[in-house]
Amino acid sequence: MGAIFRLAWQSLTNRKTTAFLTLLTVAISVTLLLGVERVRTQAKSSFANTISGTDLIVGSRSGQVNLLLYSVFRIGNATNNIDWKSYQEISQHRSVKWSIPISLGDSHQGYRVIGTNQSYFSHYQYGRKQTLSFAEGRQFTGLFETVLGAEVANKLNYQLNDEIIIAHGISDKSFNRHDNLPFKVVGILKPTGTPVDRSIHVSLGAIEAIHIGWESGAKLGNTPDALALVNHQFEPKQITAFMLGLNSKIQTFALQRYINTYTKEPLSAIMPGIALHELWGMMSIAEQALLIVSGFVVIAGLLGMLTSLLTSLNERRREMAILRAMGARPSHIFFLLVSEATVLTALGVALGTLLLYSLMTIAQPFIQQQFGLFIEITGPTSYELLLLGIVQLAGITVGILPALRAYQHSLADGMTIKV
Amino acid sequence: MNVIELTDITFRWPKQTENLLDIPSLTIKKGEKVFLKGPSGSGKSSLLSLLAGISQPTTGEISLLQQSFSQLKATRRDQFRANHIGYIFQMFNLLPYLSVIDNVLIPCRFSRQRKNRLSGTMDSEAKRLLSQLHLPQECQERPINELSIGQQQRVAAARALIGQPELLIADEPTSALDHDNREAFIQLLMAECDKADTTLLFVSHDETLESLFDRSIALNDLNQAAKGVS
């Protein structure tokens, strides 16, 4: 059998070009399969990494996915606001270590504006408990100062000290801009790969200030100018949601229960991990579809190999006849073809894996810079090894068809040389 | 000792109604060099595939080296061929992707017996045979497709002879060679057969070569089926 394997190898090296192209087809499909698998798991973990360190998110009563979507992902809207007094009472609860109030509702060129306070910059965490850090500038301190997420600054090409106008609501139209009160950019955050990159941060006081005269939802009353407002101390009456970090995780359930049964106002408290899990579950169909598509690419790659093996068979009838005359059994001929498919697939798998790792190494800094997504380069997981094993097995199986053909040829031809 | 012994052989391909071969008896003794002549279509290749064990006779019995051959199972016949029979085709005998030496050594990869019969290492034995067949040293290093047809046939002869098989079957090995080369090739082949005490069955339609052999058999005289037709 060793001799046959050697022959298969030598025969393959003789057909370098076709063999290499076939191998490349298999390799690329393997790269795609592993790549999709990597992207899938990385997307999943980056999704789970959107928020971390936060024990509870509190908003007005709603479903947990909805609350998570508007408070963390800046998608959709709150059903209702919550009273500032409720926030103050709960955030002073003895088990609460820190709290971040957030106030949503305004936007700038499609990016959501989020009113918050300094604790956002010290306590908000994403990924593996990373806090936000600044690429340029500093936190907001004055009333009309703003801190931009990385993508906002990058896409809209804002620099420090630029002035921006915030619009009321989500659509940015000329009649609903707070255009008498521009904000000065004082800080730009580093990319995080989370919705923070797409947010514009201002103080809660600023949110109050720009809405004076907008109490009815449109600009009807008198809107004072900036100078008149700067030295005024604004206290918000309402906020949209808040995040809580607790002294001990053990207290999470007790506090959640306390908030959910809060009598002064209907509130919902959710645990972000559980809500993220539920949300990801809703997206798992897309995830499966991606994997299925790359599975089909592998099948196409293996069919390419089948085609090239089958077309080579006729030219190789002489080769088979010579081997038969030298004492090869039909089973040797069968094994010769299966060996070829095995060798081709194995090399394809190896090359494909190599290709993936080189691509990841090259793309890693770029992706981190552009998307704030850190791709970890780790050895293949057991699931990936399983996938590769399946590909190899499928490759061997694909070899059986031309092998059967060659087997039949060699029985029929014997040592009469055709062609 | 009889190397080949055919008794009451008939043969036809599965879908044919009439016999292609009908040979009451044929005996070839050890060490004989036999010239088998017959025009194309006379059943030469069928007879050779019977002798090589690729096909089975419809009736009758074939003994090779005094062993009942046609009774063996297909895999045993393949093994027997690997161990005891050297075979040379008309042309294009060699695998283009193997080196000259590797081509010569193919039979040793399928037969432990022939490998064990080598006196030196596999490489040195292959080279010795090639030089005895007058293949220049530098040709042994070249790719197959750079050899002339005459040189290729000498490599094929070395391959058929390696490991001293008892029987050498040559199927028109000289038909692609010019006249002078033909005789030289046959002389070399015969000299090697003598050394190893190998029996030679040489098949050709070229009657000018007949005189070089111990014995000549006309397939049409032997084959009763051919007589019936004509």
For residue B230, is pLDDT > 50? no
- Model pLDDT for residues A134-148, shown as the tens digit of each residue: 999 999 988 889 999
In DSSP notation, A74-139 reads: --S--SS-EEHHHHHHHHTSTTEEEEEEEEEEEEETTEEEEEE-THHHHH-EETTTEEP-EEEE--
| Angle of the A317-325 helix axis to the A330-371 helix axis, nearest 10 | 130
For residue A355, is pLDDT > 50? yes
Pick the CATH number of B32-56+83-229 from 3.10.20.30, 3.30.200.20, 3.30.1330.200, 3.40.50.300: 3.40.50.300
Chain B residues closer than 8 Å to A315 by CB: none
pLDDT band at B70 (very low <50, low <70, confident <90, very high): confident
- Model pLDDT for residues B81-108, shown as the tens digit of each residue: 889 999 888 877 888 888 899 899 988 8
d(CA B93, CA B80): 20
Q: List the single residue in A with minimal CA-CA distance to B111.
A: A327
Give the mean model confidence (pLDDT) for residues A267-273. 92
Give the mean model confidence (pLDDT) for residues A341-361. 93
For residue A235, is pLDDT > 50? yes
For residue B31, is pLDDT > 70? yes
| Angle of the A382-413 helix axis to the A16-48 helix axis, nearest 10 | 160
Give the mean model confidence (pLDDT) for residues B197-216. 88
pLDDT band at B136 (very low <50, low <70, confident <90, very high): confident
B162 three-state secondary structure? coil
Number of CB pairs, chain A paired with chain B, less than 8 A apart: 71
pLDDT band at A7 (very low <50, low <70, confident <90, very high): confident
Which DSSP symbol is given to B133? T
Cβ–Cβ < 8 Å for A58, A259: yes
B11 touches chain A (CB under 8 A): no
Give the mean model confidence (pLDDT) for residues A45-74. 88
Cβ–Cβ < 8 Å for A8, A339: yes
Chain B residues closer than 8 Å to A327 by CB: 78-79, 81-83, 107, 110-111
Token code pair at residue A192:
């995080």
- Model pLDDT for residues A285-303, shown as the tens digit of each residue: 888 888 888 889 889 989 9
d(CA A75, CA A82): 18
Å between B227 CA and nearest CA of chain A: 25
d(CA B202, CA B34): 6
d(CA B95, CA A14): 10
pLDDT band at A379 (very low <50, low <70, confident <90, very high): confident
B202 touches chain A (CB under 8 A): no
List the beta bridge partners of residue B146: none
Q: Report the 10 Å Cβ neighbour count for B223.
A: 26
For residue A231, is pLDDT > 90? no
- What's the first-to-final CA gap in chain B, in angstroms? 35
B52 touches chain A (CB under 8 A): yes
Token code pair at residue A125:
């965490």
Å between B53 CA and nearest CA of chain A: 9
Q: Select, from the ranges A37-41, A196-200, A415-419, the one with the highest average predicted confidence (pLDDT).
A: A196-200
Residue-averaged pLDDT of chain B: 85
In DSSP notation, B11-48 reads: E--TT-SS-SEEEEEEEEETT-EEEEE--TTSSHHHHH
B107 touches chain A (CB under 8 A): yes
Token code pair at residue A205:
């006081």
Amino acid at B71: Q
